[in-house]
Structure 1
Amino acid sequence: MKYRNFINENIKVSILGFGCMRFPLYDPNNNGSIDKEKSFEMLKYAFDSGVNYFDTAYTYHDGQSEVFVGESIKKLGRDKLYLATKMPLWLCKEYSDYENIFEEQLKKLQTEYIDFYLAHSIGENSYRKMVENNIFDFFDKERKSGRIKYVGFSFHDNLELFKEIVDSYNWDFCQIQLNYMDENYQAGVEGLRYAKSKGLSVIVMEPVKGGFLSDGPKEVKDYFIDLNKEYSMAQWALKWVYNFEEVSLALSGMSNLDQVKENIKIASEAEANSLNFKELENINKVKDFFNSKTKIACTSCEYCLPCPEGVQIPSVFSKYNNAVIYDRKERYKKEYLSLIEEKKDASLCVECGQCESICPQALNIIDTLKEANNYFIKEKP
């Protein structure tokens, strides 16, 4: 297992972190029904192979991940690993919620302290609300008490906001989405380097884009086979992330033992700045192939919002693009149906043209909204 510096030179973390959000289940329709025997086998194999960073959250597996992880790290040895969990900002209406949820987490995890504690999934609204609720005072208090060793945040919003948040507090680390298809998405590579320049350690989540980059058509697979037929697509996705020296570790939400073994193999070999010209070139060709299937070049800048009719235009386009690019229509159809329930879907467009008049990309929004709705629904239910 390879290790990199984290926070400071006294902490060495495995470059593979175990994301505890996709454990195998007894009942596929019950996300809280963790198969503890299979899941512990995975955790122990990872631990015995050198993985020392385990990441959970209050809401993972319907609240059961923290319970199971608490039971498991007690068996593995609490002082032999690093534990990370997160504050669910969307459940916090006032300062006392931070205190109450944190106390609950300590009990569920059967620990007296958390090594790495994150404000979970910060976006524009949740950031403003947590500042208003004085979350930084909570962090300062628990840091001083020793019950939180290091403070960070996980992020899902635009680059400008990311930089503002980085500069807003004495953070130790941050967690961003990054993979070879998302170089310029959310914080992206620029955010990675900005955070590092400000002294933050950086954790990468979704290095395989939620599994989307673990499989592909023959054209894509051939690019990777040409490099090394022994490596899977998922392993190449991890190698791309590990190539950045600014990355301390990559989290992977593994759901079976084979995935654990596959990821550990790469995490035992990968080095920063190790990909050669041909490897980077072929990965860019894969990226170009996927991008060539993009239906509309929406950057999610949100200049088109609010739509007078309530259509969530960037969200519609994101689901349409991902469904086509990665051949995941059924998955994104379910998400599109949720937009219909929320009365934010493309069928509500009345072709007023406001969005097209202000779109900085000059996109054909109206016609593509029709295409997206027809692709998922054919007609409004």
Structure 2
Amino acid sequence: MEYRQNDWSILGFGCMRFPKKGGSVDMEETERELAYAIAHGVNYFDTAYIYRGNEKVLGELVAKNHWRAQIQIATKMPHYLIHSIDELEKLFCEQLKRLQTDYVDNYLMHMLPDVHIWKKLVRMGILDWINEKKENGQIRRIGFSYHGNSQNFMALLDAYDWEFCQVQYNYMDIHNQAGAEGVVYAAKKGIPVIIMEPLRGGRLVNGLPKKAKDLFAAAEPKRSPAEWGLRWLWNQPEISVVLSGMNSMAMIQENIRIADTVKVGEMAETDGAMFEDVRNAVNEKMKVPCTGCGYCQPCPYGVDIPGAFRCYNVRYTDNFFTGMREYLMCTTFRAERTNASLCRQCGKCEQHCPQGIAVRKELKQVVRHMENPVYKVIAFFAKDMFKK
């Protein structure tokens, strides 16, 4: 395993999607997967305050197995829930308790949107708080995670002496989010770059249109779309860590195999042309640029927003019948339905969407295209079948 900066493994373990069993985290399987990853060189583990119970799970397993000295923990401060330094202190202490540690290696301002919010935190007194935590050793490095355009990202980089940053970046986002321009700018400033959503929550694997899959299948050497996507990132010297939301042993083993064999600059000029063709193929089909991050959830009216968008996209990236089947299974064939027509246009979701999606508008399109007469007939006859 290669370690590029700060002794971080180039493959990081994203802890947002631990395997589930009966609606809760499968502790036995999660422990097995974490143990394998650590034994094979992964040392960067990323969680957050709002990842439902995952800080606690990570803390319990790290303490149980005495892994703390072997790994670096990254977690995040939800600035959108903080209104005073006293609240921040209370929340941070809660995080340390959950994680069963007395320090955090890498602490991020979660989804910091722009300089204006950072200045608001500064006025609140966060600089003194950060300095205190770094002096007493409770925080080793300070950074931020970001969703937004490259100009706002670069302005944030210039607003403080950050020690690292975390951005959404993949071969589809070279001109979106922080983009290639922002990644290069951070690296020039000596700020390590952590990558999230390297495969857009799996959409660049399972949600690719046939044309894009065929392009990858025809390329040499033979690699899966996931491997091509990860290698595209690690090919760039500006990238320090690529986070993967690994929730199966097969995924962990495959990602470690790839990480153990990559080299900066390994890709040929022809590979760049292939990725351009893949980008064009995906953009032809994708309707909503949702990554499935879940920040828009829970919807107060019960809509599974990421699920609805995923099925809507599948209708166009795969085919109509697959999309409809997925939509019925994932939103309608259940005791409490989560389909798009439950939306009441409150707009709460749009306040939290890091992609800036016009969620209400797009949900109307989902209703229009997915909840057609055929859907309504099937849903009518299924309503009694799936009662509690």
Q: Distance in 2 between matches of 1:164 and 1:343?
A: 28
Partner of 1:223: 215
Match of 1:116 in 2: 106
Amino acid at match of 1:266: I
Aligned-pair distance for 1:164?
Answer: 1.6
Residue number in structure 2 paired with 1:67: 56
Contact 1:212/1:326 (8 A) holds in 2:
no
Deviations 1:96-119 (A, max 9, x none): 111111111111111111111101
Aligned counterpart for 1:15 among listed residues 5, 10, 16: 10
Q: Name the CA shift for 1:19/1:111 in 2 (closer, same or farther; >3 Å).
A: same
Aligned twin of 2:231: 239
Q: Which deviates more from structure 2 when the two are superposed, residues 181-190 or residues 135-144?
A: 135-144
Aligned with residue 342 of structure 1, among 336, 346, 369 = 346
Are the aligned partners of 1:196 and 1:246 in contact in 2 as well (CA < 8 Å)?
A: yes
In the alignment, structure 1 residue 280 sits paired with structure 2 residue 272: yes
What residue in structure 1 maps to residue 144 of structure 2? Answer: 153
Is the 2:343–2:363 Cα contact (8 Å) retained in structure 1? no
My pick for the range that moved more, 210-219 or 97-106, is 210-219
Note the residue ranges of structure 1 that are not aligned, 5 or more in a row: 6-10, 298-314, 346-366
Paired AA for residue 43 in structure 2 = N
Partner Cα distance (1:171, 1:54) in 2: 19
* CA 1:175–1:231: 2 relative to 1, 3 Å: same
Conserved 8 A contact 1:319-1:336:
no
**Aligned counterpart in structure 1 of residue 90 of structure 2, from 88, 100, 121:** 100
Q: How far has the Cα of 1:138 moved from its partner?
A: 1.7
Please report how far the alpha carbon of residue 321 of structure 1 lies from its aligned counterpart in structure 2 after TM superposition.
8.8
Cα deviation, residue 372, structure 1: 6.4
**Distance between the aligned counterparts of 1:98 and 1:368, measured in 2?**
35
Flag structure 2 segments of 5+ consecutive residues without an equivalent: 290-305, 333-337, 350-360, 377-388
Which one of the candidate residues 78, 81, 84 is aligned to 2:68?
Answer: 78
Aligned match of 2:157: 166
- Displacement of 1:270 in angstroms is 1.2
Deviation of the 1:233 alpha carbon: 1.1
TM value normalised by structure 1: 0.78
Identify the residue that residue 359 of structure 1 maps to in structure 2: none
Change (3 A) 1:152 1:368: closer
Aligned residues of 1:206 and 1:252 also touching (Cα < 8 A): yes
2:276 and 2:16 mapped to 1: Cα distance?
Answer: 30
How far is the alpha carbon of 1:160 from its aligned partner? 2.0
Change over 3 Å in CA distance of 1:58–1:335 after alignment to 2: farther
Structure 1 counterpart of 2:259, from 257, 260, 267: 267
1:178 aligns with 2:169: yes
Structure 1 residue runs of 4+, over 4 Å off?
Answer: 294-297, 318-329, 331-339, 367-373, 376-379
2:3 is aligned to 3
**Separation (CA, whole Å) in 2 of partners of 1:261 and 1:287:** 27
> In 2, Cα distance between the equivalents of 1:13 and 1:326?
36
Kept in 1, the 8 Å contact 2:171–2:229? The answer is: yes
Q: Show the counterpart of 2:379.
A: none
Q: What is the distance in 2 between the residues matched to 1:96 and 1:37?
A: 37
Cα 1:234–1:99, aligned 2, differ >3 Å: closer, same or farther? same
Change (3 A) 1:275 1:377: same
Alignment of 1:268-347 (within 5 A): 268-294=260-286, 326=317, 330=327, 340-342=344-346
- In structure 1, C-alpha distance between the alignment counterparts of 2:317 and 2:343, rounded to whole Å: 20
Measured in 2, the distance between the counterparts of 1:250 and 1:338 equals 36
Q: CA deviation at 1:280?
A: 1.9
Bigger drift between 42-51 and 322-331 goes to 322-331
Which amino acid in the other structure matches residue 227 of structure 2?
Answer: Q
Structure 2 match to 1:207: 198
Secondary structure, aligned partner of 1:17: strand
Q: Is the 8 A contact 1:122 1:157 kept in 2?
A: no
Is 1:256 the counterpart of 2:256? The answer is no
Cα deviation, 1:314-343, whole Å, max 9, x if unaligned, reads: x9xx98995666456848996955764416
- Contact persistence 1:21–1:56 (CA under 8 A): yes
Q: CA offset at residue 179 of structure 1? A: 0.6
Matched, 1:90 2:52: no
The answer as to whether partners of 2:340 and 2:363 remain within 8 angstroms in 1 is no
Give CA deviations for 1:269-324 in whole Å, capped at 9, x if unaligned. Answer: 11111111222222221111111225699xxxxxxxxxxxxxxxxx9xx9899566
Q: What secondary structure sits across from 1:154 in the alignment? A: strand
Q: Secondary structure at the match of 2:242?
A: strand
Do the aligned partners of residues 103 and 34 (structure 1) sit closer, same or farther apart at CA in structure 2, a change above 3 Å counting?
Answer: same
